[in-house]
Amino acid sequence: MFRVLLVDDEAYFRQGLKELIGWEKCGFTVCGESDNGEDALEMIVQDPPDLVITDIRMPVMDGLALVQRAVQVHQLPTKFIIVSGYDEFKYAQQAVKYGVCDFILKPIDETVMETTLLELKEKLELEAAAANQQQHRLGSERIAALIKGECSVEEAERWRASMELPKAGHLYYMFVEMNDSDEALLNPGSSPVLDVRELTLATLKEIAPSMPALHTYEHRGRLGVVVAEASLPEHWTIERLAKSLQVRLQSAAGTPVCVFVGHPVTHLSELKEAYISAREAMLYKYMDERRLVFLHEELRSKPLQYMIMDHTLFQGLKEGMEENNEAAIRQAVDDIFLQFRDRCYVPEAVRTSLHRFVSEALSTLESMEADVGTMTYREPMISWYDRNVTAATLKRLIQGFVLECSLLAARQRKEMAGGGVQKIKGYIDANFATNINLKSIAAKYYMNPVYLGQLFKKTYGTYFNDYVLQLRVGEAKRLLRLTDLRVYEIAERVGFNNAEYFVSQFEKLERMTPTEYRNSLR
């Protein structure tokens, strides 16, 4: 609501105006009234209203003099509407000269006055928005200079006064970070776009109504806020403010919120140090999925781990995925995030560690000819680092991804068991001369070796090893008939590393040695 002051020497006119006009629907509230220009000027100077509606002819100081003093002498931004029972051109001419918004004749027409107020309300709103935008731009430019260390101590102290920051006491730099919910990650575009700055400022005003103008800087993906310790509610600490802000913002936004607070500095010129320490607090983001407020003062003694996690720690996760064991998968994820907490892995190390596992898991599925493009968790798991994601959300994300991979792999193995055995036979037919065995082929097709052997015997009526031997001996007979290759050379060609073993296996199947077979053809 915009505030309006009524000035007229006739009390009944002021009362009638208050009752006639629908002030609230026009966006105004009557904040006071006066019966003469002199008293009105004093009231305006002490607490400038947004609008003054004044008569012209009044004792002590008339309306035009009031406007002239307020606008030209005191240079106040207050708007004026003049009401008068005298339709004189010279009054209107002077009113225009002083920038009066409108000149309305008595008796007041309700519709005319309300139309004028609505038009003025729109103008005031535009001016207020422009002023706020200009103030925010100037504040952002100053903070940018401060956190880059591009201003002198003297200049910083001058800014401190104009920024309405308390002269004494600590200053903090705080990051407010809106994080994506599970729903937003799995269904992009499902969450509303939030004005983080406006929401944060409104929430801080709720927590501490007496807090002076807050200064912010919009970083990539998060909002920086300068907080003066002296502006906190009585007996409050910066930790209490950060926790209260986090809880209220998260409730209002409907999405996870993290708050990072740097260490305190005394002078505004030292804000760069506060900013750097707030960024350092962000390095602890994945140390604990239960934590959402991070204070540099509390965490800085904990050593950080910049190296990627030992890949053997992901072995349990891989085995759980391949065995389609949900309990093992959940336990492995718990163990990995326990390592993140105990050793304080920085976000980049977490990203690299998880990315390596995700890449391997997807490669495994692709080698099984599974359609990974249909996966719900694939894209979120690949691109999560480009978004703001809390440790708790990330834990649920990786868990969901591995469970989905496990189900997809199991389904693919089942399909292979149905029609895939023919594909396996085709692979054996094409590669029998290489160093293949039941175990290696089972691993290639992600099947249990015992199960594959049983399936092969059931489908083709012969054991795997006997079938491979038949192929190798059959090829050896062809080479014995059509080439002059020596026996040991043929043995190598058909997949035997030992010529004597080749001869014994050939004789076992053909009841004669390779040499005897060749001689029998002459």
Q: In this model, does residue 153 exceed pLDDT 70?
A: yes
Q: How much is the pTM?
A: 0.70
215-219 vs 222-228, strand pairing mode: antiparallel
Write out the two tokens for 373: 């493009």
Determine the residue type at 121.
K
Q: What is the average pLDDT score of the chain?
A: 90
Q: Which helix (H) or strand (E) holds 20?
A: helix 11-20
Q: What is the pLDDT of residue 138?
A: 82
Sign of the torsion angle spanned by Cα atoms 407, 412, 415, 421: negative
Q: In this model, does residue 377 exceed pLDDT 90?
A: yes
- Write out pLDDT tens, residues 400-424: 999 999 999 888 877 766 666 888 8
Determine the residue type at 244.
S
- pLDDT bin (cut points 50, 70, 90) of residue 91 is low
- Directed axis angle between helix 110-147 and helix 271-281, to 10°? 90
The CA distance from 175 to 389, in Å, is: 15
Q: What's the mean pLDDT in 420-434?
A: 88
> What is each CA distance from 134 to 129, 130, 137, in whole angstroms?
9, 6, 5
Q: Answer whether 118's CB lies under 8 Å from 27's CB.
A: yes
Q: In this model, does residue 448 exceed pLDDT 80?
A: no
> What is each CA distance from 83 to 88, 97, 195, in whole angstroms?
12, 16, 41
- pLDDT bin (cut points 50, 70, 90) of residue 399 is very high
Q: What is the pLDDT of residue 312?
A: 84
Query: Going by C-beta distance under 8 Å and a sequence separation of 6 or more, which residues neighbour residue 489?
Result: none
- Write out pLDDT tens, residues 273-314: 999 999 999 999 999 999 999 999 999 999 999 999 888 889
Q: What is the pLDDT of residue 336?
A: 95
> For the CA atoms of the chain, what is the radius of gyration?
40
The CA distance from 465 to 179, in Å, is: 57
2-7 vs 28-34, strand pairing mode: parallel
Q: What's the mean pLDDT in 323-347?
A: 93
Identify the DSSP state of 305. B
The CA distance from 212 to 386, in Å, is: 35
Three-state SS at 42: helix
